[in-house]
A and B are shown apart, each in its own frame.
Chain A
Amino acid sequence: DAGVTQSPTHLIKTRGQQVTLRCSPKSGHDTVSWYQQALGQGPQFIFQYYEEEERQRGNFPDRFSGHQFPNYSSELNVNALLLGDSALYLCASSLASAPRWYFGPGTRLTVL
């Protein structure tokens, strides 16, 4: 039973560029959340997707957007990258009816 998978593992971008991160939820899960984790800090909630719609959003600017596909996989898009966007981006999945969250290994984004 595959857990939550994320791609790519690492990514280096320059300021102003755009990036897309991908997440495949654990088998059977229908809800996906994205988190940003700065080095040595706790994860910060970005947004949550269920039934292909954004259901909740944290305190992040509109440069951060997402999508959920019919197969429950999800993408996180960040436009106009800033140096401060450098972080580990975590995807977590759960079943809406039984919300225990399983986290993926994350994508390490470095913005130069």
Chain B
Amino acid sequence: TQLLEQSPQFLSIQEGENLTVYCNSSSVFSSLQWYRQEPGEGPVLLVTVVTGGEVKKLKRLTFQFGDARKDSSLHITAAQPGDTGLYLCAGRSNTGKLIFGQGTTLQVKP
């Protein structure tokens, strides 16, 4: 069974601080995705990483895929209150379905 473990589960920080969220698995995934979900809405795709060692940047967000394609990280620089939400990593299984981590709830205080 392919599983994804996210850490930390909860994060409460002040505006302007940096943070990193981790997503780890014992299984290899062909690709990993990061989603952000706000209350009352469905997850929205932020990025897909495919190649081991790949780094992608989306404004203040930096995503990295591990060399062995078993782990990924999301780093946010100078967090803002608008970054508040549930961050989810998801791996594409060998049958094509998405397997989600348990999520990281981020609260950024002004």
Interface residues of A (CB under 8 A from B): 4, 33, 35, 40-45, 48, 56, 58, 90, 92, 99-106
Contact = CB atoms under 8 A, between A and B. Distances in A.
27 contacts: A40-B105, A41-B102, A41-B103, A42-B90, A42-B101, A42-B102, A43-B43, A45-B98, A45-B99, A48-B97, A56-B95, A90-B42, A90-B43, A92-B42, A99-B92, A99-B96, A100-B45, A101-B98, A102-B45, A103-B35, A103-B42, A104-B42, A105-B40, A105-B41, A105-B42, A106-B40, A106-B42
Contacts of A103: 35, 42-44
A58 B93 CA distance: 12
Given A40-B103, A105-B42, 5 more contacts: A42-B6, A42-B90, A42-B102, A45-B98, A105-B41
- Name the prevailing secondary structure of the B interface residues: strand
